[in-house]
Amino acid sequence: MSTRSVHDGDKSLHYEGAINTPIFQSTTFAFPTEEPRTWNGEIPDGTYIYSRDSNPTVRAVEDKLASLEGAESSLAFSSGMAAITSALLTFLQKGDRLVAMQDLYGGTYAFLKNEMSRLGVDVTFVPTTDPAELCAAIDGRTKVLYLESPTNPLLKLIDIRETCRLAHQKGCLVMIDNTFATPILQRPLELGADIVLHSATKYLNGHSDVIAGFVAGSRKDMAMVHLRRKLYGGVLDPLPAYLLGRGMRTLDLRMRKHDSNALAVARFLESHTKVSKCIHPGLASHPDHELANRQMDGYGGMVTFEVKGGRAAAERALKRFKIIAKAASLGGVESLASMPVNTSHTSYSSEERQKLGIGEGMIRLSVGIEDPEDLCQDLDQALN
């Protein structure tokens, strides 16, 4: 995976010996010798005409992600939400039904709850990660089963292989958001999923300076998504594609450090007197710990914990951090902390958050690549 991260997708040596893939900051490209009228409406593979359709710099990162996920094809988007919404709108239409986990990223939940119904798609949220219960909700009108694993922010896992097996028995397409794990720690296509989604803004880029998204899957499915990307316009620009490719070159290296740091921080927080609950798949106390060992190549860089004293105590801790930044994102080399109640999950009502287990004093911590002892000391002084 480390070799793939560095080399796959980059055809840099084809461009005058450059080590890095150049930024093709061009909206349009000169026609090749063959006139377009001979193409019968389809542009030949590897031919670039207009950057809303395809661009060499963007194609390089698409090929890299496809290699890492083990996908036949991948498409880059201008944001994670552009990737998610374009994929969903490709396979769903008025009168169709979608089944989704209840525990999702807030932006995804808001789109499914508010926009899908407006477009005539029925959405059923199932408050469980049990494969049998999830798939029991699939009926003849259900076209898509939508999953996250690990979930945001509660870090629940779902048995991807078993869920896909049951969903496919009912003829249902399975989409899964793999943002938290990345293909370094988990490859859902190998476990039976049909389409993998990413907010590439997070770990794939890893430097908190690019907004981007990915959809990956079979060539047939990606051809359908590609058409919607052209129509809806959520294409990634060449410059952020270049920065994304630069970040992805160190993905394996960074994810291993995020993973080991997060486990060290989680073990520290689990025994802290000011913490009532710590959630991390690497902890033996996590209900899905054994599943993580079977399904993943690591546990991830996210740690979620509840501060004793509720919201006021959590807000006080956030204000006292010295190394950890107070910011609403994740996956960068720097550690970031936020409260889901007022950032990522504001689209859920207070009652919905309570049912899911998202408490008022919950902090979501994206553990960076700093020295873990420094992070634990920062947490300790902020909590005490």
Q: What is the mean pLDDT of residues 325-343?
A: 93
Residues 119 and 24 in one domain: yes
Catalytic residue, from 48, 97, 105, 159: name it: 105
**C-beta pairs of 23-30 under 8 Å, 24+ apart in sequence:** 23/57, 23/238, 23/239, 23/241, 23/242, 24/48, 24/51, 24/55, 24/56, 24/57, 24/238, 25/238, 25/239, 26/51, 26/55, 26/238, 27/51
- The residue type found at 120 is G
Catalytic residue, from 10, 159, 177, 259: name it: 177
Residues 208 and 285 in one domain: no
Domain containing residue 367: CATH number: 3.90.1150.10
Residues 19 and 77 in one domain: yes
Examine the pLDDT at 214 and tell me if it is beyond 80. yes
Q: What is the mean pLDDT of residues 287-314?
A: 97
Q: How confident is the model at residue 71 (pLDDT cuts 50, 70, 90)?
A: very high
65 contacts 182 by C-beta, under 8 angstroms: no
- CB burial class (10 A; 0-12, 13-18, 19+) of residue 230? middle
Assess whether 319 carries a catalytic annotation.
no
> Measuring CA to CA, which residue among 375, 184, 199 is closest to residue 298?
184
pTM of the prediction? 0.94
| Number of Cβ atoms within 10 Å of the Cβ of 254 | 25
Least confident of 34-43, 114-123, 178-187, 224-233: 34-43
Examine the pLDDT at 41 and tell me if it is beyond 60. no
Domain containing residue 91: CATH number: 3.40.640.10
pLDDT (0 to 100) of residue 206: 98
pLDDT (0 to 100) of residue 256: 98
Alpha-carbon distance of 366 to 63, in angstroms, equals 27
In angstroms, the Cα distances linking 306 to 266, 274, 338, 339, 361 are 12, 9, 12, 10, 5
Torsions phi, psi for 273 (to 5 deg): -70, -20
Q: How confident is the model at residue 301 (pLDDT cuts 50, 70, 90)?
A: very high
pLDDT (0 to 100) of residue 344: 74
Q: DSSP letter for 42, please.
A: -
pLDDT (0 to 100) of residue 352: 84
Residues 127 and 183 in one domain: yes
Q: How confident is the model at residue 356 (pLDDT cuts 50, 70, 90)?
A: confident
Share of the chain above pLDDT 90, in %: 85
Alpha-carbon distance of 154 to 307, in angstroms, equals 15
Share of the chain above pLDDT 70, in %: 96
Of the candidates 248, 266, 296, which is a domain's last residue?
248
Catalytic residue, from 52, 230, 274, 308: name it: 52
Residues 144 and 191 in one domain: yes
Q: Give the residue with greater pLDDT, 233 vs 356.
A: 233
Residues 166 and 258 in one domain: no
Q: What is the mean pLDDT of residues 279-284?
A: 98
374 contacts 263 by C-beta, under 8 angstroms: no
Instruction: Return the top range by mean pLDDT from 5-14, 31-40, 293-302.
Output: 293-302
Q: Tell me: the pLDDT tens digits for 138-148? A: 999 999 999 99
Assess whether 50 carries a catalytic annotation.
no
Residues 345 and 263 in one domain: yes
Q: What is the mean pLDDT of residues 333-340?
A: 96
Query: Between 372-383 and 310-320, two packed helices, what is the crossing angle to 10 degrees?
Result: 130
For the sheet containing 142-148, what is the strand order?
A: 73-77, 213-217, 195-199, 173-177, 142-148, 97-101, 122-126
Q: How confident is the model at residue 11 (pLDDT cuts 50, 70, 90)?
A: confident
Residues 244 and 302 in one domain: no
Catalytic residue, from 64, 143, 202, 353: name it: 202
> What's the mean pLDDT when you consider all of the chain?
94
Q: Which residue has the tokens 């490709």?
A: 90
Could you tell me where the DSSP H helices lie in the chain?
A: 2-7, 56-69, 80-91, 106-110, 116-118, 131-136, 160-169, 182-185, 219-232, 238-248, 251-270, 289-295, 310-320, 350-356, 372-383
Of the candidates 224, 248, 272, which is a domain's last residue?
248
> Measuring CA to CA, which residue among 186, 149, 142 is closest to residue 168?
142
- The residue type found at 340 is P
Q: How confident is the model at residue 40 (pLDDT cuts 50, 70, 90)?
A: low
Assess whether 202 carries a catalytic annotation.
yes
Q: How confident is the model at residue 58 (pLDDT cuts 50, 70, 90)?
A: very high
Examine the pLDDT at 92 and tell me if it is beyond 60. yes
For the sheet containing 325-326, what is the strand order?
A: 275-279, 302-307, 362-366, 336-338, 325-326
Residues 255 and 242 in one domain: no
pLDDT (0 to 100) of residue 309: 96
Residues 66 and 208 in one domain: yes
Q: How confident is the model at residue 38 (pLDDT cuts 50, 70, 90)?
A: low
Assess whether 380 carries a catalytic annotation.
no
pLDDT (0 to 100) of residue 35: 61
Torsion of CA 99, 331, 239, 233, to 10 degrees: 10
C-alpha atoms less than 13 angstroms from C-alpha of 381 in its C-beta half-sphere? 11
The pairing of beta strand 142-148 with beta strand 325-326:
unpaired
Residues 274 and 233 in one domain: no
Alpha-carbon distance of 130 to 143, in angstroms, equals 19
DSSP string, 228-255: HHHHH--BPPHHHHHHHHHHHTTHHHHH
Q: Tell me: the pLDDT tens digits for 74-85? A: 999 999 999 999
Of the candidates 219, 248, 277, which is a domain's last residue?
248
> Measuring CA to CA, which residue among 231, 222, 193 is closest to residue 62?
222
What spatial distance separates the first Cα and last Cα of the chain, rounded to whole Å? 41
C-alpha atoms less than 13 angstroms from C-alpha of 16 in its C-beta half-sphere? 1
Residues 211 and 307 in one domain: no
Q: How confident is the model at residue 341 (pLDDT cuts 50, 70, 90)?
A: confident
196 contacts 189 by C-beta, under 8 angstroms: yes
Domains: count for the chain: 2
pLDDT (0 to 100) of residue 162: 98
* ∠ Cα 315 319 320 (to 5°): 120
Domain with 155 in it: 2-248
pLDDT (0 to 100) of residue 347: 76
Q: What is the mean pLDDT of residues 281-288?
A: 98
